[in-house]
Homo-oligomer: A and B are copies of this chain.
């Protein structure tokens, strides 16, 4: 977990935030559990502390964690609710894409086929 891919076009702070969110979803961190400190994470990942700080700020704005001055950062939501929010986001994106595909003339059977194929993903 928490692998940073420098080749990825996504900014690093987003990758870090996403990785932590993943861990919450998969139960690595439970609700109200304390996360590693900014400095510790920065050292482990060899990343600028400012970047970690920004990832935490993003997670806090999403309601995934909360910070207590002088104590640290803590998980605010349980994995299930975070997972539900994520699925809602993905659902919205899927709907938008499906809408665009329909506007280009793709019919529902074709679109459904795309999302259901288990193999052959690029």
Q: Which residues of B contact A66 (CB under 8 A)?
A: 7
- Give the copy number: 4
Q: Which residues of B contact A111 (CB under 8 A)?
A: 94, 115-116
Bound form: Cα–Cα A83–B110 in Å: 15
Is A36 an interface position by the 8 A CB rule? no
Q: Which residues of B contact A101 (CB under 8 A)?
A: 87, 90-91, 94
**Contact code string A79-105 (vs B, CB < 8 Å = 1, else 0):** 000010011001111111111110011
CB interface residues, A 49-101, toward B, < 8 Å: 61, 66, 68-71, 74, 76, 83, 86-87, 90-101
Is A121 an interface position by the 8 A CB rule? yes
